[in-house]
Amino acid sequence: MWLTRPLQERSTQIFLGVLFGALVIVSALHLFMPQDSALYVSSYTVTLLGKYLCYALLAVAVDLVWGYLGILSLGHGAFFALGGYAMGMYLMRQIGDRGVYGDPVLPDFMVFLNWQELPWYWAGFDMAWFAFIMVLLAPGILALVFGFLAFRSRVTGVYLSIITQALTFALMLAFFRNEMGFGGNNGLTDFKDILGFDLRTDATRLGLFLATGIALAIGYVICRGIVTSKLGRVSVACRDAEARTRFIGYRVERVQLFVFVVSAMLAGVAGALYVPQVGIINPSEFSPLFSIEVVVWVALGGRATLYGAVIGALLVNYAKTVFTGIMPDAWLFALGGLFVLVTVFLPKGIAGLMSRRSKKDDTDTPSAQEATA
Q: What are phi and psi of 193, to 5 degrees?
A: -150, 165
Helix (H, G, I), strand (E, B) or coil at 346: coil
**What's the pLDDT score for residue 318?**
92
Using CA atoms, how far residue 331 sits from 57, 159, 336, 337, in Å, is 23, 29, 9, 10
Residues in the chain, overall count: 373
**Residue ranges of domains in the chain:** 44-372
**What's the pLDDT score for residue 345?**
81
State the DSSP code for 290: H
- Contact present, 259 and 66 (Cβ < 8 Å): no
**What's the pLDDT score for residue 228?**
93
Separation of alpha carbons 256 and 249, rounded Å: 15
Q: Which positions ≥6 away from 225 have C-beta within 8 Å? A: 2, 3, 4, 5, 6
If one counts every other C-beta atom within 10 angstroms of the C-beta of residue 44, the result is 9
**What's the pLDDT score for residue 343?**
76
The angle formed by the CA atoms of residues 134, 138 and 141, to the nearest 5 degrees, is 125
Q: Tens of pLDDT along 155-183?
A: 988 999 999 999 999 999 999 999 999 99
Q: What pTM did the predictor assign?
A: 0.93
**What's the pLDDT score for residue 356?**
65
- Contact present, 150 and 118 (Cβ < 8 Å): no
**What's the pLDDT score for residue 363?**
56
Mark the ranges of the chain whose per-residue pLDDT is less than 70. 355-373
**What's the pLDDT score for residue 361?**
56
Number of Cα atoms under 13 Å in the Cβ half of residue 134: 20
